[in-house]
Every structure is written in C-alpha cells, then in structure tokens.
Amino acid sequence: MIVEMKRGATQQEVDGVVERAKSLDLEVQLNIGTDKTVVAILGSNTGQISTDLFAVLPGVESTARIMKPYKLASREFKLENSVVSVNGIDIGGPRLIVMAGPCAIESQQQLVDAATAVKQSGALILRGGAFKPRTSPFSFQGLEKVGLELLSKVKEQVGISVVTEVVEPHDVGTVSQHADLLQVGARNMQNFALLTRIGKSKRPVVLKRGFSCTVTEWLTAADYLLARGNSNVILCERGIRTFEDSTRFSLDISSIPVVKRFSHLPVIVDPSHAAGHYALVPSIAKAAIAAGADGLLIEVHPNPKEALVDGLQSLTPSDFARLMKELKPLAESLGRFI
C-alpha cells in the first residue's frame, strides 16, 4: 500500500503514518521527494488492512494499493527517475554512462591496457570480472581474490572507477573494498540471499536481468535490494533466451521502455552478452541508446584473440573508440550526452 502525503506535510504527520504502520507490525519505506513524501507500507498481510486506517490520518493526501508484485521499484512509489551516483558519476541523468573492459581480469598488464584504452575513449567505469560464474565448472573461473587486488591497483594507477561481479553473499564485504559498483550476474538475479546481503551493504549495484526472467520478476528482484535500504540500484538488460540462435541471447529492446514506464530505476544495456559476436555489438549498443537506456556495459579486450573468456564478443580498443565517437551524435539527437 502507498500513502501519499500532502504537499508540505509536517515531519510529525509523516511520523504519525510510520507509527500507525509499525503498530500494525508493518514495515515502511519513505520516498522523500522534492515535492511530497510517499510512504510505502509493506508486509505480507497488507491486503487484509483497510486503506482507511491511513487515509484518516492528518497530512495524508491519498492512499492506494500497489497491485504489482514489486513495490519499491515501481513508479507508484517513486514518480521521479532515480539517479544513482557512483563516485560522483550520475547514472540515470542526462549523461550516458559507458562501462567497459574485459570480461575477466587476466593479468595486470591486460587490465592496465584495457583501462587506459577505455578511459581514453570516454568510458567512465572499468569493468572486469574477478569471480566468473561459468556454465561449466571446467571453464576459467576468474582470478578471484588476486583479481580483486589487481582491480584496486589498476583503479588507482589509471584513475577510473570500477565495477565487478560478486557471486557469494559472504564475499560482498571483500568485493566492496575493491569495487565502486557491484554487479549481480544474470545467473544470480534471483539469488535472494545475495541480494539481501547487497541490500544491507548500500553499495551501488548493477542488477542484470536473468535470461529466463520476465521484467516483472526482474523488478521484484530489485525490491530485495531496495527493501534492505539500498536505493542505489541500476538495472542491466543483457538479453534473454529465445528460439533464435543467430545471436548468443536475444536483446529484449522493448524491456527498456517497459522498465522506464513502470519503474523509476535507471537501466543500462550490455550488448556484448546479448550479441555474442563483436561485429553485432555496435548496432545493438546504438539501438539500446535509441530505446532510452541510461548507459552501456561493453566488453573490450586489448587483444580479443588471446582473451581467456568471451573474446569473440569483445571489442578491440580501436573498435570501441569508433563506437564511442558514433554514439556522440546519437546521444545529442536524443537530448543527452556521453
């Protein structure tokens, strides 16, 4: 249930609503907007509680039930777009944010070369996996702790913010010491223990869409992060499984306007994992921006032929530089910049 306060409602009036909810054993989340405050009343039995219990309280403008399974990620709870700040880089504002780098961290030299190249072309955040959740247990699993340390070193050396994936709930603290932004991979979108732990950490997080999950399931997973008080959630569309096999996954381009319509959260697109082939990445990246994405997550490797993971879908530094140039006028035509 959401309780919308009147414009100019006092703190005491907001507290009155919160206390009423608590007296009924319900949880609350506040959205203190510039204009008005909205209180989300959460709990498994809100369906049995009359909205009138809140409608009569002083300072309340209106009450309504959110009929969707996701509440905190919904536009009903928060009308204005959320902007997530990562080290002063705003994601969800007018500037398109590009995160780029190798699929996996392989060596210091590889990461320095990738970081230097992507930064020079205008990427603001370096990507690189230290923990790689692989479909096969026999595939390279990442450099793990050593990879995290390399990430920290290169971040300092090159002067760039970093995003990396966290796979296990007990690693959230350690990964957060090295990463400005955490990534939850597609295979972990519904790992609720992991989401709950990251929710408590408050560290900005990119939540990738599970490749067999609906947009509703994706936004409901985001609620796990938001419900624990982490409002720094960025969604990432990376393609879903369909009958089509000419690409690795099918990029669900329509999920971007759908997310924008039903949620206030920023959404970026990973064209690399959707495409599975470097030749397709630039077109898919441009389509994503045209559809309203707030940024991109792109795999770039200094030498894709030698990559231990995902070389075929990785751009070379020069391909990436060209794509970034091509994105500029596109962004401007949409009233944005890069």
Query: In terms of Cα–Cα distance, which of 285, 275, 272 is closest to 314?
Result: 272
307 contacts 102 by C-beta, under 8 angstroms: yes
Strand, helix or coil for residue 74: strand
By CB under 5 A, tell whether 106 contacts Mn ion. no
Query: In terms of Cα–Cα distance, which of 169, 163, 105 is closest to 132?
Result: 105
CB of 231 to ligand PEP, least distance (A): 23
Query: In terms of Cα–Cα distance, which of 117, 58, 88 is closest to 180?
Result: 88
What six digits make up the tokens of 173?
């603290």
By CB under 6 A, tell whether 178 contacts ligand PEP. no
Binding mask 278-317 for ligand PEP (x = CB under 6 A): ----------------------------------------
If the CB atoms of residues 208 and 260 are measured against ligand PEP, the closer one turns out to be 208
172 contacts 201 by C-beta, under 8 angstroms: yes
209 contacts 186 by C-beta, under 8 angstroms: yes
Q: Which does 180 bind (CB under 5 to 8 A by kind): Mn ion, ligand PEP, none?
A: none
- Candidates 25-33, 53-61, 77-85, 307-315: pick the segment binding Mn ion (CB under 5 A): 307-315
Beta strands in 65-171 (DSSP E): 84-86, 89-91, 97-101, 125-127, 161-165
By CB under 5 A, tell whether 205 contacts Mn ion. no
Question: Which one of 92, 147, 185, 295 is in contact with ligand PEP (CB under 6 A)?
Answer: 185
The footprint of ligand PEP on residues 66-125 (CB under 6 A) is: 103
Binding mask 212-251 for ligand PEP (x = CB under 6 A): --------------------------x-------------
Phi and psi at 227, nearest 5°, equal -65, -25
Q: Which does 266 bind (CB under 5 to 8 A by kind): ligand PEP, Mn ion, none?
A: none
Q: Which does 208 bind (CB under 5 to 8 A by kind): ligand PEP, Mn ion, none?
A: ligand PEP
The footprint of Mn ion on residues 85-104 (CB under 5 A) is: 103
Question: Which one of 158, 186, 194, 219 is in contact with ligand PEP (CB under 6 A)?
Answer: 186
If the CB atoms of residues 16 and 129 are measured against Mn ion, the closer one turns out to be 129
Q: Give residues with Cβ within 8 angstroms of 87, minimum separation 6.
A: 161, 180
Q: Which helix or strand (DSSP H or E) is residue 17 part of? A: helix 11-23
Question: Which one of 76, 165, 252, 310 is in contact with Mn ion (CB under 5 A)?
Answer: 310
Beta strands in the chain (DSSP E): 2-5, 27-32, 37-42, 60-64, 84-86, 89-91, 97-101, 125-127, 161-165, 181-184, 205-208, 233-237, 267-269, 295-299
Residue nearest ligand PEP by beta-carbon distance: 185
CA atoms of 198 and 220, how far apart (whole Å): 15
Residue nearest Mn ion by beta-carbon distance: 103
Binding mask 122-141 for ligand PEP (x = CB under 6 A): -------x------------
Kindly list the residues in this chain that would bind ligand PEP in the complex (CB under 6 A).
Answer: 103, 129, 185-187, 208, 238, 270, 273
Kindly list the residues in this chain that would bind Mn ion in the complex (CB under 5 A).
Answer: 103, 310
